[in-house]
């Protein structure tokens, strides 16, 4: 620590030098102390983000004034910092909620407390508030401890400066002895000097990168405008050491440097997401703006939250989930850190609306849309179009990035998004497409006359019995790759998935059971635990062969466990529906399409490309194969399928009338984006529908369609005003939204059901039954789920009532049984429904309950529902015992995993946030190190988010009002 000196007391030269310089520098020290006191006082009043910078400036002044005693002052400050940190780490019993930590986590704190007792006694007792703050800081993130130490040091130095006269009289030599003795005895602080330096370097690099991005479009800094630490994190968390050439080209495009909107398109598995993530990090760290990432499905949102939480913890930004019933409207306005909002399409729309309403849409620096082609897919495409159109119209500073593997009419999308376009055919693993007709296999060849070239004949001996059971030769095709490689078989229906899995297992060699036998038994055991003792008989027969089915009939826990087993190679074959192609990334060596159909509809080119895009695993396979099985009758259709271009992407605003154009116009008036028909028409011209209007609606003009939709809204009582003819446009008055209209768009209620919802809630007030949740469950059962309900009248007899009411009541019985039993298996058997449908009902009810809550918040007459629906929404969201809810708030932790964690002693979010990933791996069955790290990172992120939300509320309460005259204000003590 002290260079060549074995003992500082034995070196007289060093101490003599202190004596000689003490008198010479006394006046400089006095001046320095005064300057330091003034600067530190100013520093405390600034925001937390500048504490280190201001403290560094203060040190520079000390060095310049004190001259040759620089080293001695540094040692004194080190002693103050170490003492301060040890005082903060030492807590009295009951000061903190760490006492109920699992034993594995308490060992660390016990050792830390033992080593800090002497320091605590000698330096006095700190206030309890400081101890609690220190405790909370450690709970949030150990990596932030040095910030707290610096903060405490500043406060200590402020108090020391008031005693400057006493310090001046004290011999510097004696003080140096005491300081160095204390340093020698004291345990090293929890955060090493190396880590502090590393984080200081990170801060400097972020500042440098920010300047680079703002001032230059050529020099992109150490890692595409980001600190080099980001590159290290991609290596650590993703194993990505080098970007593909196309990724480098895309990231250095002139259009991106000029912050133009961009659409880019590459085949599936080409690495599109990595480019988006680098752009997101640039926005968060360098430009200090919030980011919205829109993804199509809840499962993908949760997966992305899980994956990016680790980056957020290391780089100091927040990751917030907006999916299902999760998400706050409007989001908390963060003063210190920036947020990455990861949202489904529906939740993203609600988020953007709330930002527009509060005047904060300018805080969004970047919006990233994955699967941009979904603009052309029904009501969800219409909602996605609304999000983008509103941002384009209102915020000229927000950049939009869209990506997709299946785009065709890019010109329309470019015009709509005012965007540049980049495309590439790169694929890390070569994909070979084949079509099987009877025994012959043909390769898809663009140069061939009919698009197909003969490749080979199937060489597999079939018995007459096997030929009858497997006329499509599926067994021959899958046994060419399994069990050494993985395989996906896409089937038209859910039932077909199960039948194909069973058929393949029936004729497979028994030797397949010997592959990873113990791990397969563990998988069966886990699935049985998930089902609380129940296991699907099909899975029980197929898993020993390494085969399982995957479709929406499984619960979320079951699907996740099967996906994990497939990713780790325990399962080598999945029979699945087309939803897997658009969901989580599960690649395979060979992809087989059982038939060119999805249910009864012939396959679209976009769907076909997404399915075959799963073939070929980067870094594992040298090539990927897809085989489409075709019957003779469909040969001509399949030739068109493989040779024709991708389908065009068309606006659905007009086709989805109540969820499309009417919903859009209602929100435009409610948010005061456009107040009269002329302004609304101007907005509509900026939508994708406005770009494509002449093609989509040849009979009516855009103006006529707009006026017709406004007339419907006025007729429904959602808007007030008068629609004048086009000739009278100049004298027209503004439209106003009604209370019902306000509640409808804020609650994201489908306009087709807003009247029915209002009537049901109004009638409910006449005799609300609160003995149980049943009445509330009925009111929050989604209307659109009733169309898929087929009540079993042997359980509940038919009554002479409206069919929709009966179906809704029936579904509320299902939900009521779920809340009582929390066992999806038992409830699905009781009501003769698939467990996947029951879980979908539960998820839909939780989301709709959240919408009804927002609906009621806008109508004063429904005040009674607010508190009731808040609790009900939480119960529906998790549908587990109350003690598991805090753990299930963590992204990626489902019921079965939450039970494992709870039983192992991790009972709260704080326990999980401070867990050691290595300890988790040892204590939790079938938990990989990667999963353990991600769970801990997600828990830390959530805990930090909650704590900072509370801090924001405190600061908001203490903020001095800006609209109060000076004479009315007093200075706080």
Q: What percent of the chain has a predicted confidence (pLDDT) above 90?
A: 45
Structure letter (DSSP) for residue 285: I
The CA distances from residue 353 to 383, 757, 820, 844, 848, in Å, are 12, 22, 36, 21, 18
Q: For the segment 441-499, what is each residue's pLDDT rounded down to a tens digit?
A: 999 988 887 888 999 998 878 888 888 888 899 999 999 999 999 999 999 999 999 99
* Closest by Cα among 348, 329, 341, 307 to 584: 307
Residue 146 has pLDDT above 60, yes or no: no
Specify the residue for token string 């409808």: 744
pLDDT at 211: 57
Task: Tokens for 761, please give them.
Answer: 């809630």
User: 586 and 392 in contact (C-beta within 8 Å)?
Assistant: no
Average pLDDT, the chain: 79
In DSSP terms, 441 is beta-bridged to 436, 456
pLDDT digits (tens, 9 = 90+) for 649-679: 999 998 877 788 999 999 999 999 998 999 9
Q: Are strands 430-437 and 601-602 parallel, antiparallel or unpaired?
A: unpaired
Query: How many Å apart are CA 564 and CA 575, to the nearest integer?
Result: 15
Q: What is the pLDDT of residue 486?
A: 93
Checking if the pLDDT of 629 tops 60, the result is yes
pLDDT at 809: 87
Residue 680 confidence (pLDDT) above 90: yes
Residue 691 has φ and ψ, to the nearest 5°, of -65, -40
The alpha-carbon radius of gyration of the chain (Å, integer) is 32
Task: Report the distance separating Cα 566 and Cα 571, nearest Å.
Answer: 5
Residue 910: is its pLDDT beyond 80? yes
Q: Are 812 and 876 in contact (CB under 8 A)?
A: no
pLDDT of residue 20: 56
Residues 6+ apart with CB under 8 A from 21: 68, 69
List the beta bridge partners of residue 369: 294, 402
- Closest C-alpha among 754, 831, 759, 830 to residue 789: 831
Predicted local confidence at residue 731, as pLDDT: 52
Long-range CB contacts for residues 70-77, cutoff 8 Å, separation at least 24: 72/18, 72/172, 72/176, 75/176, 75/179, 75/180, 75/183, 76/175, 76/176, 76/179, 77/153, 77/157
For 99-109, the pLDDT digits (tens) are 444 444 444 44
Listed in sequence order, the DSSP H helices in 100-244 are 103-115, 117-123, 128-140, 145-161, 164-169, 172-185, 193-215, 228-238
Pairing of strands 623-630, 590-593: parallel
3-state secondary structure of 628: strand
Stretch 941-964: mean pLDDT, rounded? 82
The answer to whether the beta carbons of residues 891 and 305 sit under 8 Å apart is: yes
Name the percent of the chain lying above pLDDT 70.
74
User: Distances from the Cα of 273 to the Cαs of 174, 245, 307, 366, 665, in angstroms?
Assistant: 61, 15, 12, 15, 33
What is the 3 state secondary structure string of 840-896?
HHHHHHHHHHHHHHHHHHCCHHHHHHHHHHHHHHHHHHHCCCHHHHHHHCCCCCCHH
C-alpha 666/C-alpha 717 separation (Å) is 11
- Say how far apart CA 596 and CA 559 lie, in whole Å: 24
Confidence of residue 79 (pLDDT cuts 50, 70, 90): very low
61 burial class (0-12, 13-18, 19+ CB within 10 angstroms)? middle
Q: Which of 328, 343, 325, 331 is nearest to 875 (CA)?
A: 325
* Mean local confidence (pLDDT), 384-388: 97
pLDDT digits (tens, 9 = 90+) for 684-724: 999 999 999 888 887 888 999 999 999 999 999 999 988 87
pLDDT digits (tens, 9 = 90+) for 276-305: 999 999 999 999 999 999 999 988 998 899
Residue 527 pLDDT class (50, 70, 90 cuts): very high
Could you give the 3-state DSSP secondary structure of residue 437?
strand
Question: What are 196-243's pLDDT values in tens digits?
Answer: 666 666 666 666 666 555 544 333 457 998 988 999 999 999 889 999
């Amino acid at each position: 620590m002290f260079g060549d000196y074995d003992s500082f007391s034995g070196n007289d030269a060093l101490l003599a030098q202190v004596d000689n310089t003490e008198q010479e520098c006394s006046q400089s020290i006095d001046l320095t102390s005064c300057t330091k006191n003034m600067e530190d006082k100013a520093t405390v009043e600034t925001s937390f983000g500048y504490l280190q910078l201001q403290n560094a400036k203060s040190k520079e002044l000390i060095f310049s004034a004190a001259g040759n005693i620089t080293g001695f002052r540094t040692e004194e400050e080190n002693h103050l910092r170490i003492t301060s940190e040890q005082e903060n780490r030492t807590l009295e019993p009951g000061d903190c909620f760490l006492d109920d930590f699992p034993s594995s986590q308490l060992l660390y704190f016990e050792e830390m407390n033992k080593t800090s007792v002497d320091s605590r006694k000698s330096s006095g007792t700190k206030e309890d508030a400081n101890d609690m703050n220190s405790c909370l800081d450690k709970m949030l993130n150990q990596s932030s401890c040095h910030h707290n130490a610096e903060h405490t040091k500043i406060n200590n130095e402020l108090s020391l400066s008031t005693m400057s006269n006493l310090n001046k009289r004290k011999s510097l030599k004696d003080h140096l002895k005491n300081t160095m003795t204390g340093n020698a005895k004291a345990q090293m602080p929890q955060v090493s000097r190396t880590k502090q330096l590393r984080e200081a370097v990170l801060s400097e690099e972020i500042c440098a990168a920010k300047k680079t991005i703002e001032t230059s479009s050529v020099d992109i800094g150490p890692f595409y405008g980001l600190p080099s630490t980001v590159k290290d994190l991609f290596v650590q968390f993703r194993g990505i050491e080098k970007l593909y050439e196309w990724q480098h080209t895309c990231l250095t495009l002139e259009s991106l440097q000029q912050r133009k909107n961009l659409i880019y398109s590459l085949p599936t598995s080409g690495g599109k997401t990595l480019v988006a993530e680098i752009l997101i990090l640039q926005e968060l760290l360098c430009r200090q703006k919030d980011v919205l990432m829109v993804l199509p499905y809840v499962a993908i949102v949760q997966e992305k939250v899980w994956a990016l939480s680790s980056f957020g913890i290391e780089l100091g930004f927040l990751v917030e989930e907006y999916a299902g019933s999760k998400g706050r409207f409007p989001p908390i306005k963060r003063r210190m850190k920036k947020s990455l909002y990861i949202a489904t399409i529906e939740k993203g729309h609600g988020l953007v609306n709330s930002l527009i309403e509060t005047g904060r849409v300018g805080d969004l620096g970047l919006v990233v849309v994955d699967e941009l082609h979904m603009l052309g897919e029904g009501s969800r495409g219409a909602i996605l179009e609304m999000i983008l159109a509103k941002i384009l119209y209102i915020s000229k500073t927000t950049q939009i990035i869209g990506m997709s593997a299946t785009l065709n009419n890019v010109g329309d999308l470019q015009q709509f998004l005012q965007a540049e376009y980049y495309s590439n055919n790169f694929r890390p693993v070569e994909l070979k497409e084949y079509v099987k007709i009877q025994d012959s296999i043909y390769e898809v060849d663009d140069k061939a006359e009919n698009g197909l070239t003969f490749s080979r004949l199937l060489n597999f001996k079939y018995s007459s019995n096997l030929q009858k059971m497997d006329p499509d030769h599926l067994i021959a095709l899958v046994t060419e790759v399994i069990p050494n490689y993985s395989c996906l078989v896409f089937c038209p229906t859910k039932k077909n998935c199960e039948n194909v899995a069973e058929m393949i297992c029936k004729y497979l060699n028994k030797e397949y059971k010997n592959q990873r036998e113990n791990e397969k038994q563990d998988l069966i055991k886990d699935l049985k635990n998930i089902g609380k003792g129940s296991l699907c008989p099909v899975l029980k027969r197929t898993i020993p062969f390494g085969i399982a089915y995957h479709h929406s009939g499984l619960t979320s826990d079951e699907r996740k466990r099967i996906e994990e087993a497939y990713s780790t190679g325990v399962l080598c074959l999945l029979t699945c529906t087309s939803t897997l192609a658009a969901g989580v990334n599960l690649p395979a060596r060979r992809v087989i399409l059982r038939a060119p159909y999805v249910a009864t509809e012939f396959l679209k080119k976009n769907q076909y490309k997404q399915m075959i895009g799963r073939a070929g695993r980067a870094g594992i396979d040298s090539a990927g194969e897809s085989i489409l099985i075709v019957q003779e009758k469909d040969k001509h259709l399949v030739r068109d399928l493989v040779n024709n271009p991708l389908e065009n992407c068309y606006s659905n605003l007009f086709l989805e009338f109540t969820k499309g154009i009417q919903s859009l116009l209602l929100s435009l008036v409610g948010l005061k984006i456009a107040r009269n028909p002329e302004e609304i028409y101007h907005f509509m011209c900026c939508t994708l529908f406005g770009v494509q209007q002449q093609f989509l609606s040849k009979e009516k003009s855009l103006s006529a369609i707009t006026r017709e939709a406004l007339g419907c809204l006025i007729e429904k009582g959602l808007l007030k005003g008068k629609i004048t003819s086009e000739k009278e446009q100049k004298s027209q008055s503004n439209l106003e939204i009604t209370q019902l209209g306000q509640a409808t768009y804020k609650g994201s209620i489908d306009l087709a059901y807003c009247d029915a919802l209002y009537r049901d809630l109004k009638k409910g007030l006449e005799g609300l039954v609160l003995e149980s949740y049943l009445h509330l469950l009925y009111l929050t059962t989604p209307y659109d789920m009733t169309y898929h309900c087929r009540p079993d009248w042997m359980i509940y007899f038919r009554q002479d009532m409206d069919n929709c009411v009966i179906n809704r009541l029936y579904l509320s019985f299902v939900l009521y049984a779920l809340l009582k039993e929390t066992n999806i298996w038992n409830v699905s058997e009781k009501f003769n429904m698939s467990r996947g449908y029951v879980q979908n009902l539960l998820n839909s009810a939780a989301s709709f309950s959240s919408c009804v809550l927002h609906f009621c918040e806008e109508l004063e007459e429904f005040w009674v529902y607010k508190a009731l629906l808040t609790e009900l929404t939480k119960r529906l969201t998790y549908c587990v015992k109350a003690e598991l809810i805090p753990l299930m708030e963590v992204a990626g932790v489902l019921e079965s995993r939450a039970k494992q964690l709870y039983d192992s002693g991790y009972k709260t979010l704080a326990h999980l946030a401070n867990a050691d990933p290595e300890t988790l791996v040892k204590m939790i069955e079938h938990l990989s190190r990667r999963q353990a790290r991600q769970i801990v990172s997600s828990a830390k992120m959530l805990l930090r988010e909650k704590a900072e939300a509370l801090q924001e509320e405190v600061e908001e309460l203490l903020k001095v009002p800006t609209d109060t005259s000076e004479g009315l204000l007093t200075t706080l003590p």
